[in-house]
Structure 1
């Protein structure tokens, strides 16, 4: 199959403004011009607005032309003719000429589509395009000619010449890197025991193991630190959320310690009883009706239990939605592995 190269005509800003400001003799301007090419064919598309020709015995010939030095080609002609010239053209079979379209002045159509294709030649790649407007009288007398430039075509494929820059990495006496992740471990209500087969826990625990294995199995690196931080969602009493966040973090630490031979104090843990920060981040990106009021409540200095109660009381619809769709993602464990190369 022939490879198709499709490149659009590029018109400079100056050419566009000049084209738009010149009024052709017929009162019409070529519009929506597009030029494309394949390997062997050039396509011209556009519209010829059908203005009214001044006089029944007059006609205007609209001809797009490509020119590059001594090479040129006409890309079809549209003849907009007054009443007498239109019928005379019909008698002389003007509309049957190849590349000529005949339209009577004042036709019901607002514009005539222009679609031309010609064999592509290399000289066309940088050719200038203009539109020639010729006004003729009753005996084909030449009553005036106007040339309106459109711009230069840029149709040849561009040559890519890569330039390489050598950037020396900054010297490091000790190369310390880190990996981070989040796991969403599901626990039964008010429980702090990990059940690997409970809901989606297998996949979440596998994420943690895969992250640790990535470092442990690389002989060029050494783990220097491993930390876990557990989060609980804001619903329920603060004291119970402290118990849950602390207990579930400890449970995940114990789970990891059963799989790997870390020293007893190697894994560092911390916890956040209620992830109000995660809830705020969700609200900022949401389109909820009470968005700003809820964000203001989250940012307030109110005690956590009072804040949760007010959220539930003042925004019951939003609270139900958050409880079902957002709060589960606020119960998560963030883990971070630091290692030395």
Structure 2
């Protein structure tokens, strides 16, 4: 791709590539400097105004353009302005001299010399100087000899670079860390019986589900059980009033059984609820099934004009083939008890302990404790990023967790994850700033600026917007030429 360079003058005005950059060592001046970057090459052209040079027939001036960064340099093809005798000497004796190309007769064809040359582009040229070397000489007895260097211009081909600064947000302390463990147990009862028999059918393993959950919480010194909630359900077959009594009685029996099985502090509250018939569970099962009469059964379940008993009777009447299947395979799963063990987690203040818990028991930590752990690591390090990745896994719907995880993802170049987290990061000033960083890293600088403008309360947004605008002004490959002082 061909890119034309603009020239920047001392007054900081930007001109086109045809602007004049004037240097005058003796009687030589340079006009119409133009520098272009094209692929892997760099081309330079200008006009040498040699109209004021006065020299004898045996004298000459050799002009050599040179690009240098102070440590490395490359010279371009020289141009020689010579008096009459010196010019013919070169033409007769030196191969490679062609009049009108690299050899000019002073006072004849050397008034205005159009120069152009190409060199391979090298990275060190991104910030370099273009200068001209003048060598004065001629025959051995000529009165003029020597050399001079004249800085012509600074070449700046450095693309503007967006240096992302990631702004992490300290979460607010949640105060008391309340947690819960939930599950479902399918405790079975003999027909029309509400008392629990632990040995009946599969009750031993079902009751063990509840006890294992309670034990898991109770035996952890970092946890304190605050309450236990149990809700019992009956299935839809049979009269509703009868099912309601069964659901209530069986739920109360299960609450009593659990309470009597443990010596829990009196502060632990037991609460319960019941639902006579689990029509919600039945609907969920039918909706995901492949029953041929699925839509018809769903229509009956969803009919709000029917009582529960009428619904059950209608399904039994209208779908005589499916009803026995439901009665045998689905209704038993609707007789269940859902339980929840509510508890609190103690606060952690030892940072090293918190760091250990990030890896071994992150469910015990609040977001503010995750943030404390992150402060022990170098920002952008694997350990630092792991903290925020773990935090968002524990709190997948929290806006601050998603915002910090998005920043961590961007810092390691994972833009796919960053996009996913930003979608759940809310609309705070910090979130809008992070979205601006995301767009800037994807080189969508116009979009980035719009987000930075919305990042209220984030001081870094001002500098970030400046960087984004500079990236628009100075894309990769653009070259700026500044007159040498």
TM-score (norm 1): 0.50
Q: Which has a greater percent of strand?
A: 1
